[in-house]
Amino acid sequence: MTSSTLNRRTFFAGSLGAATLLALAACSGGSQAGADKSAKITWSTWGTPEEGQRFKKFNEQFKKDHSSISATLQMVPSYSDYHSKLLTQLTSGTAPDVFYVGDDYMGKFVDAGVLMNLDSVVNAADGSIKAADFNAALFGAAKTDKGLFALPNDCNPDVMWFDKKALAAAGITENPAELAAAGTWTVAKFLEMCAKLAGAGMHGALFWNYWATHWSWVAANGGTVFDAAGTFVLPQDAAGRAALKSLGDAFQQKLFTVADTLPEGSGGDSLFATHKAGFYVQGRYGIATAEQSGTKEDYDIAPWPSVSGKPGASGVAASYLVINAKSKSPEAATTFLVDFLSAKGQTLRLADGGNAVPSIKGADAVVLDGSYPAHAQTFLDLRDAGFSDFAKEAKIPGLSSDVSKLMLSLYEGKAGVDDVVASLTTLMDKAA
């Protein structure tokens, strides 16, 4: 369910109190071994009423498959309210047995010791889900030297949705998906197209202001944000700094538009559905946007461009499923988690126009069945090659919000790249 609810959030969510989480860590015991599988469990997530219908469908199937386990859903409509409610429940001992955690909160929950270690689940000889079934780069802050404490329930690789009708109106005859297949989908070509679109009175590309936009652009231009050890190396990386400058320039030159700042009534969905923008960087939920146009065949997807023209790694939005370390029914909770994350479970939740991409191998048909968009395989390719929010950034609730505020100042021309990089360094030093 890594849908627009997750992917479009502005990362304004307030931080969980450090003292409170430390207190939770001190009082959280391990899971109760030997609990009977016949149990009542609760699970929780955020989401829209439409998403709630998919979860209801999963619950019904889970009950058929496991008649001895009763699973009750506690759904919170707002992402911004979800984690604060969960914190209150953890403090009072009333938290669900299984629950979602957003990527920007994962590190804090792991550090607090309130989550069950899932190593035994994904390493079981007869287990139906394995760690190797997932792109390990999506584990993010969920994996530490102490173990694996969460798994991505599904994901949304940011792809370049493009409007063939808008491109044609700007005099663009080349197809980005075909260029990508030929290994000639370059950053230079993308910027050239955006300039033509802007010159024709349209928006070149619409981006959401969050971590995947900043860091995917750096990666596309051959830069490095964090090294393999998790050290913030962007300040010393010439290609990365140049990438940020070119990103800021593109926004200031009106080739790119920050979707978050568009006026009500003229948002990204509306602009794209009425052929007023050439590109819209979104996940699989972009299908719904294309359908608003009434001519969804006008739209297709391509990977992020790169300096070389060959597709590389880009950002993949993810949320995670975890088990409460103090669950009174850990075996039943584990059964639920395994079913939910399995290929069967993800297929059930994401089929028929679902708004996300399976995070596990074996459920790819969900994306490919129906053959829409024409290059739907791109979703899967970017999932397998992509990366989640870097562990260091995801470790501190609110840090991604602070990073995005800095980046917005660059996009709006209120700060130069040197000042932004210096401020980013200060933020990352505090997170060390």
Indicate the length of the chain as a whole number.
432
Residue with tokens 């957003």: 102
Q: Which two tokens stand for residue 111?
A: 């550090």
- Give the span between the Cα atoms of 250 and 97, in whole angstroms: 46
How many separate domains does the chain show?
2
Question: Between residues 33 and 54, which one has the greater pLDDT?
Answer: 54
Same domain, 21 and 97: yes
The answer for 294, left when phi > 0, alpha when psi is -120 to 50, beta otherwise, is: left
The whole-number pLDDT of residue 38 equals: 67
Same domain, 219 and 280: yes
Predicted confidence (pLDDT) per residue in 62-76, tens digit: 999 999 999 999 999
Alpha helices, DSSP H, located in 16-95: 18-27, 49-65, 79-92
Same domain, 252 and 282: yes
Residue 30 pLDDT more than 90? no
Same domain, 127 and 259: no
H or E element that contains 169: helix 164-169
Phi, psi dihedrals of residue 115, rounded to the nearest 5°? -115, 145
Q: Which of 324, 300, 319 is nearest to 377 (CA)?
A: 300
Q: What are the start-end ranges of the E strands in 312-361?
A: 316-323
Q: What are the start-end ranges of the E strands in 283-327?
A: 299-302, 316-323
- Note whether 158 and 283 are within 8 A (CB): yes
Same domain, 17 and 116: yes
- Note whether 300 and 164 are within 8 A (CB): yes
Same domain, 149 and 235: no
Q: Is 185 helix (H, G, I), strand (E, B) or coil?
A: coil
pLDDT band at 37 (very low <50, low <70, confident <90, very high): low
Q: Are strands 151-157 and 147-148 parallel, antiparallel or unpaired?
A: unpaired
Residue 33 pLDDT more than 60? no
Predicted confidence (pLDDT) per residue in 182-200, tens digit: 999 999 999 999 999 999 9
Neighbouring CB atoms inside 10 A of 81's CB total: 12
Q: Are strands 316-323 and 277-282 parallel, antiparallel or unpaired?
A: unpaired
Domain extent, residue 170, equals 159-314+398-430
Predicted confidence (pLDDT) per residue in 230-289, tens digit: 899 999 999 999 999 999 999 999 999 999 999 988 999 999 999 999 999 999 999 999
Same domain, 197 and 116: no
- Note whether 393 and 431 are within 8 A (CB): yes
- Note whether 359 and 1 are within 8 A (CB): no
Same domain, 163 and 304: yes
Q: Is 152 helix (H, G, I), strand (E, B) or coil?
A: strand
Residue with tokens 């829209």: 48
Q: What percent of the chain has pLDDT over 70?
A: 91
Identify the burial level of 173 via C-beta atoms within 10 angstroms of its C-beta, where 0-12 means exposed, 13-18 middle and 19 or more buried.
exposed
Same domain, 326 and 290: no
Provide mean pLDDT across the span 204-225.
97
Same domain, 365 and 410: no
Q: pTM of the full predicted structure? A: 0.89
Q: Which of 381, 199, 358, 196 is nearest to 302 (CA)?
A: 381
Same domain, 24 and 126: yes
Predicted confidence (pLDDT) per residue in 287-314, tens digit: 999 999 999 999 999 999 999 999 899 9
Q: Looking at the DSSP assignment, which residues form a beta bridge with residue 186?
A: 306
Q: Which two tokens stand for residue 24?
A: 């939770």
- Mean pLDDT score of the chain, rounded to an integer? 89
The CATH number for 210's domain is 3.40.190.10
Predicted confidence (pLDDT) per residue in 113-122, tens digit: 999 999 999 9
Q: Which of 203, 219, 346 is nearest to 270 (CA)?
A: 203
Same domain, 284 and 330: no
